[in-house]
Amino acid sequence: MEKKIQFTVSIYTENNIGLLNRISTIFLKRHINIESFTTSECEIENVFRFIIVVEMTQSGIEKVVKQIEKQVDVIKAFYHTDEETIFQETALYKVKSNSLFKERQIQKFIKKSNARIITVNPEFFVIEKTGFRNETDELYNDLAPYGLLQFTRSGRIAVTKSKMGISEILNTFKNQKKKKK
């Protein structure tokens, strides 16, 4: 059996309604669980970037990325291993305000983990921590015994060490179109 490893899939797309559905269908159809999914406008205006984390075999990810790239509104799709990307996740922890003052430990955890307090009010305060999964997990484990009112973690955001060259692709198209005209 081919070994499964974690891949970060980056997809550059036009901003089209329904594309999210089209892309998730490609995973759904093959019974692949998406571990995390993030989307936002990227460095180019009106071009969106999806970042999807999946655990798959090498041959599996190759096929899936080709199927994604085949979609008309997808400009380009890539896959990378963890070593090839720089990635982070953000977690938010909501804690009762009185525990912050009663439990001195909590302040220690915040300092130790380089987390930030982003909101304080009489009832609760919110801690934000950006880092790797194991780092946000560690803070979670530290805080959990003191009672977490809410906890949420974002999907992975990532940039790659290598170049993506999306502007080049778009410029090539522009030049071809000029030639045709």
Partner 1 sequence: MNKMKNNKNISGAEAVIKSLLKENADLVFGYPGGAIMPVYDEFFKFQDKIHHVLTRHEQGAVHAAQGYARSSGRVGVAIATSGPGATNLVTGIADAQIDSTPIVCITGQVPAHLLGSDAFQETDIIGISMPVTKWSYQITKASEVPGVIAKAFYIAKSGRPGPVLIDITKNAQFEMFDFNYKKCIGIRSYSPIPKIDNNKILDAAKLINTAKKPLIVWGQGVILGNAEKEFKNFVEKSGIPAAWTILGASALPTSHELNVGMVGMHGNYGPNILTNQCDLLIAIGMRFDDRVTGDTNSYAKQAKIIHLDIDPAEIDKNIKVDIPVIGDCKESLAMLSKNIKTKSYKNWLKTFDDLMKKEFNKVIKNDLSPKKKGLTMGESIIAINKFTKGKAIIVSDVGQHQMVACRYANFIESRSNITSGGLGTMGFALPAAIGAKMGAPKREVVAVIGDGGYQMTIQELGTIFQLQLPVKIVILNNDFLGMVRQWQQMFFNKRYASTEMVNPDFVSIAKAYFLDSEKVENRSDLEPAVKRMIESKKPYVLEISVEKEDNVFPMIPSGASVSDIRLE
**Is residue 10 near partner 1 by the rule CB under 8 A?**
no
Enter the tokens of residue 164.
């993506």
**Is residue 31 near partner 1 by the rule CB under 8 A?**
no
DSSP 151: E
C-beta of residue 8 within 8 angstroms of C-beta of residue 85? yes
Distance CA 181, CA 85 (A): 40
- Site for partner 1, residues 35 to 74, rule: CB under 8 A: 59, 62-63, 66-67, 69-70, 72-74
Distance CA 167, CA 84 (A): 21
Binding map of partner 1 across residues 75-94, x = CB under 8 A, - = no contact: x-------------------
Q: How many CA atoms, within 13 angstroms, populate the side-chain half-sphere of residue 151?
A: 12
**Is residue 1 near partner 1 by the rule CB under 8 A?**
no
List contacts with partner 1 (CB under 8 A): 13-14, 17-18, 21-22, 25, 29, 59, 62-63, 66-67, 69-70, 72-75, 169-170, 173-174, 176-177, 180
